[in-house]
Amino acid sequence: MTRARFTDWDAEKVASHFRVDPGKGLDEQEAAERRKKVGTNSLSEGKKKSWIGLFIDQFKDFMVLVLMAATLISGLLGEYTDAIAIIAIVLLNAVLGFIQEVKAERSLHALKKLSAPRARVLRNGTWQRVDADQLVPGDIVAVTGGDRIPADLRFLKTETLYVEESALTGESVPVAKTATRLPSGDLPLGDRKNMGYMGTLAVRGNGIGVVIATGMNTEMGRIAHLIDTAEEVETPLKRRLEQLGKVLIVVALLLTALVVVTGILHGHDAYKMFLAGVSLAVAAIPEGLPAIVTVALALGVQRMIRRKAIVRKLPSVETLGCATVICSDKTGTLTQNKMTVTRIWTDGRMVEVTGTGHEPEGAFRADGREIRPLDHQPLRRVLEISALCVNARLVKETDKGGMFRRKKTEWTVDGDPTEGALVVAAAKAGLHQDRMQSEWRRIREFPFDHERKMMSVIVERKDGRKILYSKGAPDVLLDRCTHMLYQGKILPLTDALRAVVLKVNEELAGRALRNLAFAWRELDRSAENGKEWQLERGMIFAGLAGMMDPPREEVKESIKRCRQAGIRTVMITGDHQATAEAIAVELGIKRPGGLTVTGADLYNMSDEDFLRKVNDIDVYARVSPEHKLRIVKALQSQGHVVAMTGDGVNDAPAIKAADIGIAMGKSGTDVSREASSLVLADDNFATIVAAIEEGRNIYENIRKFIAYLLASNVGEILIMFLAMLAGLPLPLVPIQILWVNLVTDGLPAMALGVDPAEGTNMNRPPRDSREGIFARGVGWKIVTRGLLIGVCSLAAFWISWAESPADLARAQTVTFATLVFAQLIYVFDCRSRTTIFGRTPFDNKALVLAVLSSALMLLTVIYWQPLQPVFRTVPLGVREWILVAVTSSLPVLAAGLLDQLVPGRLRMRKTAAHGG
């Protein structure tokens, strides 16, 4: 049976073919058995490089190949000890690089899994959300506007469903979908109106379909082998570092050649100088710098995931530290996204409803005393409409707990949050939805849309009574009513009564409440089949419900932290101006003198006027998603780096245009998530601030180990170069140079990548996105520390060698120890923006352990007798260690003094303090 043939079957025949009841779906056991037969619903990711291949890649670097050639020459010349030692070090380096790459790959895999699409599927008669890769043929799946279709479907039911199928057909205009059978024949893909295909986008409406194909058996799977979906994201920083690396390679090779030539001219053995030169080049060239940056980014991404921020595009990690404006949605991001009914106005009096969240617990109070809502008929009517004229459900989820966890019950809303608030309010009064819907059978529904701004249902009671229940925007619903329930009577809706309703509506809105109106109409049997415009008129106005979405408790502090960090927060919402301003003032978003602009204002505002005012606008109210793109561009034109949040299909252009596009993980559509560079797993504004803090810290940590690696390499080259210029013996033998590189460049550099943020990280303005790697004092630190490390290490060599010229091995061991410890001390200097004493070393336990490990490795090759001939070391006494301690500490101490004395450095510090 070809996929095309399902188009000319009716829905019942398709469901029968897949042995599924469309009203219940598959059970979990049947789904698991089918998954075993057909596999998971995922496309092949292509051939991955094996672990052996990754390990071999570690030896493809040019300088490593040169070193291997030098090792071969050593072996041929009988220098077996040198050859074996060098091979061991190269292998150890390769193992470390291999471990880093495997870890980064696992991080990326975990990231892909976290950002995988979800699907709404009917299993065991219950709608639930599952990972899309768990779908099997025969599953009943629901899609709505904004969803990406998770598998190939044959639609069983559609309501104004339009799907954009350009990924398959090239046709950019959305296609209207139907559930009816089509004429027989092998129809072209674009003409299969009752089919939905994996990877296409539902842009409007709703639909329910049965899965007919999954994974590589889908239409998308058929063309998957033609598409290389693996895209390696290269960050701007990584690009700059690779360019820098090429320059450093040329400089290091020239200096190394100069060292070799100078040494030969001063009478040193040509072979030894060649081997020393190659070792120096390998140690001096930071060939692993881009890899370390990638690993640091991957580790940072993992930390962000733990803080509920999922990074989809690595460049956004760098950009986060430059953000100057956050444009945030209100609902669910600044607020809890748990709409709660707090006021009900009916029969001419106001009723207060207590309780927050989704728990159906609370009281009803009127005139300062508690009332029984079901004894008050007008209030009962409003609550009945609240329970029946909705599509949301109140769900009780129970965590059974465990040995160390208590049993936990949580109430959640499946559906629209506004409708959920109504269902919860009805449940608080004892009108539980399940019982109500068993007593009242829904016959028809006239769904809500943005043009109608109302929803109606026709329900039938067991006694045969039929009633039209409606809810919607107060002004819209008033226009459909001719009567009103007021002070115990049903009265004609006069202009005076209309004015009373509008005044109450305005008062509730002034308290930052979102208001819905309720109405009803008794129907006779002949009326139930009429058109909506015929039935939704002549209704009786029942009352108003005012609800609010309370602000998240942690958001106020997060906005304060943003202000301290030089980041402005702007609220963008579709809510009324009064509601938006009330929340903005409470959270501290609206500044004294800050402006509020509505969508109508924006529409009437010229681009020139908008650009003049954009920096003064704190709140955008009653705006449509289309306005977001204009806001982003206006802010960017003023030099801002903009983070923009969104969750809907129409938000995608603004999210994509923003410097940092942020999508909602819970409430967001697949379209908005795919356009984003960052996804909030908890839809929480505080998570954005946490991500910015983490992004700033990641970038600063990268700068720290750049400063550390390059200064260390400068010191290593200088000690050899200056010794050769002075006509001194070799201060280090080749194997020692390689060991220094392994001991100091490995673990300590990686530990800097996980350095905790400095306390002032969020007290500085954002970083200029155009700044170079060496900005804000990094270049100065590299030059001064590198020069001092080289000079002090050479001084240690000269002092030790001058005392006993015949004991060259002792002088080289002193130099070896001095160079290693100078770099291990300097690594703590790299942690602070000021001096080595600016931070306590125990803030970063990983770094302390890395330094102790490196020191232990050094002591092992100095004192363990079997390794002494390999590394040309001798045991050092107390006198030598005092020399090592003094000369290895001097670089950092002298550099701190130099920082205070040099005016240029003072200017750099001032720039650093004000430039982020």
Show the tokens assigned to 537. 């008129």
Show the tokens assigned to 641. 């780096």
Concatenated DSSP letters for 761-783?
Answer: TTSSPPPPTT--TTTTTHHHHHH
- Beta strands 369-371 and 514-523 are unpaired
Spatial contact of 470 and 389, defined as CB atoms under 8 Å apart: yes
Spatial contact of 541 and 481, defined as CB atoms under 8 Å apart: yes
Long-range contacts of 74-78 (CB under 8 A, 24+ apart): 74/275, 77/271
Distance, CA of 361 to CA of 843 (rounded, Å): 46
DSSP state of 542: E
Burial level of 1, CB count in 10 A (0-12/13-18/19+)?
exposed
Distance, CA of 387 to CA of 429 (rounded, Å): 11
367: left (phi over 0), alpha (psi -120 to 50) or beta: left
Q: Which residue, 137, 149, 150, is CA-closest to 175? A: 149
Spatial contact of 832 and 840, defined as CB atoms under 8 Å apart: no
What is the number of H-type helices and E-type strands within the chain? 33, 28
Spatial contact of 841 and 722, defined as CB atoms under 8 Å apart: no
Catalytic residue IDs: 329
Distance, CA of 303 to CA of 752 (rounded, Å): 15
Distance, CA of 185 to CA of 180 (rounded, Å): 15
Concatenated DSSP letters for 591-625?
Answer: PTT-EEEEHHHHHHS-HHHHHHHGGGEEEEES--H
**What's the one-letter identity of residue 774?**
F
H or E element in which residue 253 lies: helix 236-265
Distance, CA of 40 to CA of 807 (rounded, Å): 69
Which residue, chain included where needed, has tokens 């015929």? 534
CA 275 to each of CA 268, 299, 355: distance values in angstroms, whole numbers, following the listed order? 12, 36, 78
Q: Which residue, 430, 435, 432, is CA-closest to 364? A: 430
Spatial contact of 160 and 203, defined as CB atoms under 8 Å apart: no
**Phi (first) and psi of residue 482, to 5 degrees:** -115, -15
Spatial contact of 518 and 471, defined as CB atoms under 8 Å apart: yes
**What's the one-letter identity of residue 812?**
Q
Contacts of 514 (CB under 8 A, 6+ apart): 339, 418, 546, 547, 548, 549, 575, 576, 579
Full strand arrangement of the beta sheet holding 660-664: 309-311, 678-680, 660-664, 642-646, 325-329, 568-572, 617-621, 595-598
Residue 847: how many CB atoms within 10 A of its CB? 26
Length of the chain: 916
Buried b / exposed e along 548-560 (16+ C-beta atoms within 10 A): bbbbbeebbebbe
Distance, CA of 160 to CA of 138 (rounded, Å): 24
Measured in Å, how far apart are the chain's first and last C-alpha atoms? Answer: 64
